[in-house]
Amino acid sequence: MRKVAIIYTTQTGETEKMAAIISDGVKGAGGEAELLVMEDIADVSVLGEYDALAVGSPTQEAKEVPSATDFMDKLAVSDVKGKYAAAFGTYGWSGEAPYILALRLERECDMKMVAEPLKIQQGSLASGMDICRAFGMKLVFGE
């Protein structure tokens, strides 16, 4: 069964909560899930041990937050390629971040995308639980 890294950054905790629900979805599907804070990953090569990566950032100023840009810059030049992947994030009114992250994962990191980018509006996680769990399942079973 797949080992999934759910890598996220958060400023006020919303995207962290979303990551935790996705993790539940992975485990519910029989996968192994690990939650990783993006800023704590000093060397992205540690991600080589995972089968699938979920990358999450809130949207700020119509894009991902700077630490997520930095993370993607490092991932793009690393040897971590060809994993199953998907992007997610919470947002206030537009929610561009997961789309930008997904494009970069696919085009710059040769990842195999298993789900459409998932954005959940801040304060709406309670009603988005099933969607987040289904996203986690796709990380385990998606091709």
Residues forming the site for ligand FMN (CB under 6 A): 10-15, 58-62, 90-95, 122
Cβ distance to ligand FMN smaller for residue 26 or 120: 120
Give SS3 for 86.
strand
Q: How far is the CB of 22 from ligand FMN (least distance, A)?
A: 13
Q: How far is CA 28 from the centre of its chain?
A: 17
What whole-number distance in Å separates Cα of residue 119 and Cα of residue 99? Answer: 9
Q: How far is the CB of 73 from ligand FMN (least distance, A)?
A: 20
- Extract the tokens encoding 61: 């100023």
Cβ distance to ligand FMN smaller for residue 21 or 140: 21
Question: Phi and psi at residue 119, in whole multiples of 5°?
Answer: -120, 135
Cβ distance to ligand FMN smaller for residue 67 or 78: 67
What whole-number distance in Å separates Cα of residue 59 and Cα of residue 3? Answer: 27
Q: How far is the CB of 39 from ligand FMN (least distance, A)?
A: 13
